[in-house]
Amino acid sequence: MPVNSRIYLSKKTLLKTLPCILPPVNRQPLPATNINQLQRNRGFTLIEMIIGIVVFSIALVMLTSVIMPQTRKGIDPIWQVRAVTLAQSVLNEVSSKAFDENSITNGGRIACNDTVACTQSNALGPDAGESRANYDDIDDFHGLSLSGIDITNTTQAAVSSTKEALFNGFQANISVFYDSNYDGINDDDLNQDNSLDTGTLIANQKRIEVIVTTPEGEQIAFSTYRNNF
């Protein structure tokens, strides 16, 4: 037979011969451990990822809804203490003034309503030419609103060395009115519609009220009384 001659096998013969030439194919099923390994390595489907994100979001919302109110409650007492400090400072400043503009006369202080009538209810507030630096009676402060850096004492000095840090976000609103029966209701606004009933009422007791609003929006009322003597 020539060296470069070729051998031709029929298809049937080839199929019979191949198993003898090639090594036998292992057709045994994969062990269970290998299947688990494959399942672990196959990653996540899109649906699994979406479900995971939804569950995580729900857990986050539940967590923040529990923690945030607790954090806020922890801050409230600090603001309440500062509100008391602010109100006390304002009340001290207001209370140090005379009962009424007409209480002040040349040669000393005398009570109004003795010789000169006290200020009518519709005239309570700063008198002509007065600003906070020279308020001289308690109702001059009526309608005054203090906030931020305006929270100073009557000499325009800071209430504390770090006033802006202490009272940042706070507001103090002051009102002064006649309340001779000490019920907290303006004697000249019995229907409490914030409109004076007569405008001409005069009494011998004034209520000084300071409403402090904390940065959280909580309003705390403080008050004291001054009698005409």
The contact set with Ca ion (CB under 5 A) reads: 101, 127, 136-137, 139-140, 179, 181, 183, 185, 187, 189, 191, 193, 195, 197
Residue 120 or 160 with smaller CB distance to Ca ion: 120
**Minimal distance, residue 81 CB to Ca ion, in Å:** 30
| Residue whose pair of structure tokens reads 């000393």 in the numeric block | 108
Question: Is 208:223 a contact under the CB 8 Å cutoff?
Answer: yes
| Three-class secondary structure of residue 148 per DSSP | helix
85's tokens: 């400090």
How many residues in the chain? 229
Structure-token pair, residue 34? 């290998």
Which of 51, 42, 90 has the alpha carbon at shortest distance from 213? 90
Q: How far is the CB of 157 from Ca ion (least distance, A)?
A: 21
Sign of the alpha-carbon torsion through 38, 39, 43, 47: positive
Q: For the CB of residue 203, give the shortest distance to Ca ion in the complex, in Å.
A: 9
Select 166 or 185, whichever has its Cβ closest to Ca ion: 185
Give 131 or 195: the residue with its C-beta nearer to Ca ion. Answer: 195
Q: How far is the CB of 121 from Ca ion (least distance, A)?
A: 11
- For the bound state, the minimum distance from the C-beta of residue 152 to Ca ion, rounded and expressed in Å, comes to 19
Give the Cβ contact number of residue 92 at 10 Å: 12
How much is the CA Rg of the chain, to the nearest whole Å?
43
Token pair 């649906």 is at which residue? 47
- Nearest distance, CB of residue 82 and Ca ion, angstroms: 29
Nearer to Ca ion, 41 or 155 (CB): 155
Q: In this complex, which beta carbon is closest to Ca ion, that of residue 141 or of residue 170?
A: 141
Other C-beta atoms within 10 Å of 93: how many?
19
| Min separation Cβ 91 and Ca ion, Å | 17
Token representation of residue 228:
């005409």
Among 171, 126, 132, 176, residue whose Cα is nearest residue 154: 132
CA 14 – CA 174 distance, rounded (Å): 109
Select 156 or 161, whichever has its Cβ closest to Ca ion: 156
Nearer to Ca ion, 187 or 209 (CB): 187
